[in-house]
């Protein structure tokens, strides 16, 4: 079987691996210590936070079919929080979702962990460059690990990271330049006090905060109270290189003022910076395969900053590659 290296073990990389695993020898390379990418779970002291993606919708039939066994197994469940729109800290209106919003159970990374079960994943392995010799690709890491050679490399990292890894001769290289991604900060809090607000999740307007959710309210989470607060993407981008301690201070002040409550003495408080959270400008195509170089690129950012888009980009790339390999 042909050897294929996939860089990045988020939803798109794992989708490519799952689609190709029966016809090729696929290996995933992930720089973090776990799979999931932006669908990760943050383990902090004894708490767990969905600090990236919050939930997702399913519109496409292929995505629906792919997820069906995970829904049957209880790994995906519907989340139905009491949802409000807040304006200047006041409830402007109650919102209801018109479609099902799923969350992995008991934590966000559970779906990607299940998808990685039969896949050969090299964790803690950051690929720093790729090289072609005699028609075959090799991967380079800082500590010069040896993995042998591959027929194809598929890159699934966000566009700015892909731009650094793939050669300018890659036929899809202009997509990296075209795509604009925006950051996000997530404040994670754990506290003892009873929850006294009418909402369990809130879309926030006119604020540097855009989203808040009672993390512990999601299905299957442990019942100690945890709150997630996420910042507006454009505000985050404008402050992307600021010290996270300064950012935490700003978010906390805003949260305290919005809810007229002092969260500063919460049991646990931390802030995470997502440098590439959402896509401001997508590429206009779903993925790119360069059949001459035997290089491919996919990821949510080709389409939209959504889990379903990450799946579709990976799924469509894999289907096209299957035809090329058969
Ligand atoms: C704060 C936040 C909130 C979000 N909320 C939602 C939401 O509510 N609903 C929704 O549908 N979507 C949401 N999203 C978007 C969703 O998380 C993404 O669309 C999806 O997870 C992207 O998957 P991906 O596989 O394309 O990319 P990623 O998940 O980013 O995977 C890429 C992987 O590549 C790895 N990597 C990068 N460089 C290298 C390298 N050099 N070597 C090896 N590995 C490397 C990374 O560590 C990462 O694991 C949110 C994202 C964020 C950050």
Contacts of 278 (CB under 8 A, 6+ apart): 181, 182, 184, 233, 305
CB 254 within 8 A of CB 209: yes
CB 229 within 8 A of CB 251: yes
- State if residue 9 touches ligand 1 by the CB under 6 angstroms criterion: yes
Q: How far apart are CA 9 and CA 287, in angstroms?
A: 16
Q: How far is the CA of 53 from the centre of ligand 1 (A)?
A: 8
- State if residue 26 touches ligand 1 by the CB under 6 angstroms criterion: no
pLDDT tens per residue, range 94-138: 888 999 999 999 999 999 999 999 999 999 999 999 999 999 999
Mean pLDDT of 189-197: 91
Q: What percent of the chain has pLDDT above 90? A: 91
pLDDT tens per residue, range 220-245: 998 789 999 999 999 999 999 999 99
CATH 3.90.660.10 residue ranges for the chain: 76-107+180-280
The pLDDT mean for the chain works out to 96
- State if residue 172 touches ligand 1 by the CB under 6 angstroms criterion: no
Tell me if residue 95 falls in helix, strand or coil.
strand
Contacts of 223 (CB under 8 A, 6+ apart): 216
Main-chain phi, psi angles of 298, to 5 degrees: -150, 175
**DSSP conformation class of 56:** B
pLDDT given at position 288: 98
Element (H, E) at 128: strand 127-133
- State if residue 183 touches ligand 1 by the CB under 6 angstroms criterion: no
Task: Categorize the per-residue pLDDT at 281 as very low, low, confident or very high, splitting at 50, 70 and 90.
Answer: confident
Mean pLDDT of 84-97: 88
pTM of the model: 0.97
Main-chain phi, psi angles of 110, to 5 degrees: -60, -35
Q: How far is the CA of 197 from the centre of ligand 1 (A)?
A: 31
Closest-lying ligand 1 atom to the alpha carbon of residue 184: 1
pLDDT tens per residue, range 41-56: 999 988 999 999 999 9
- State if residue 38 touches ligand 1 by the CB under 6 angstroms criterion: yes
pLDDT given at position 193: 85
**Which is the CATH superfamily of the domain at 3-35+117-178+283-325?**
FAD/NAD(P)-binding domain (3.50.50.60)
Lookup: tokens for 311:
């799946």
Lookup: tokens for 67:
């997820």
Q: Please give the CATH topology (third level) of the domain spanning 76-107+180-280.
A: Polyamine Oxidase; Chain A, domain 2 (3.90.660)
CATH 3.50.50.60 residue ranges for the chain: 3-35+117-178+283-325
Protein residue closest via CA to atom 53 of ligand 1: 277
Q: Among 9, 34, 36, 37, name the best residue to mutate to test ligand 1's pocket (greatest count of ligand atoms within 8 A of Cβ).
A: 37
pLDDT given at position 249: 98
């Amino acid at each position: 079987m042909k050897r294929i290296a996939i860089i990045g073990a988020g939803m798109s990389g794992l989708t490519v691996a799952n689609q190709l695993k029966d016809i090729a020898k696929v290996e995933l390379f992930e720089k973090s210590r776990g799979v999931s990418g932006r669908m990760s779970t943050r383990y902090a002291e004894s708490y767990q936070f969905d600090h990236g993606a919050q939930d997702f919708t399913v519109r496409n039939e292929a995505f629906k079919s792919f997820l069906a066994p995970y829904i049957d197994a209880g790994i995906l469940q519907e989340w139905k929080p009491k949802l409000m729109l807040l304006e200047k800290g006041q409830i402007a209106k109650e919102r209801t979702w018109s479609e099902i919003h799923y969350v992995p159970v008991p934590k966000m990374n559970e779906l990607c962990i299940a998808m990685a079960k039969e896949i050969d994943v090299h964790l803690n392995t950051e690929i720093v460059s790729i090289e072609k010799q005699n028609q075959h690709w090799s991967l380079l890491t800082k500590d010069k690990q040896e993995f042998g050679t591959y027929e194809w490399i598929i890159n699934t990292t966000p566009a700015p990271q892909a731009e650094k890894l793939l050669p300018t001769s890659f036929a899809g290289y202009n997509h990296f330049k075209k795509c604009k991604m925006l950051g996000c900060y997530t404040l994670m809090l754990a506290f003892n006090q009873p929850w006294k607000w009418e909402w369990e999740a809130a879309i926030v307007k006119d604020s540097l905060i855009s989203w808040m959710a009672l993390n512990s309210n999601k299905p299957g989470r442990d019942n100690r109270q945890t709150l997630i607060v996420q910042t507006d993407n454009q505000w985050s981008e404008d402050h992307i290189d600021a010290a996270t301690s300064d950012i935490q201070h700003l978010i906390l002040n805003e949260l305290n003022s919005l809810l007229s409550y002092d969260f500063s003495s919460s049991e646990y408080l931390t802030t995470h910076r997502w440098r590439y959270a959402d896509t401001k400008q997508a590429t206009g195509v779903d993925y790119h395969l360069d059949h001459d170089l035997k290089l491919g690129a996919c990821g949510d950012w080709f389409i939209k900053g959504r889990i379903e888009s990450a799946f579709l980009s990976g799924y469509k790339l894999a289907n096209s590659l299957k035809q090329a390999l058969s």
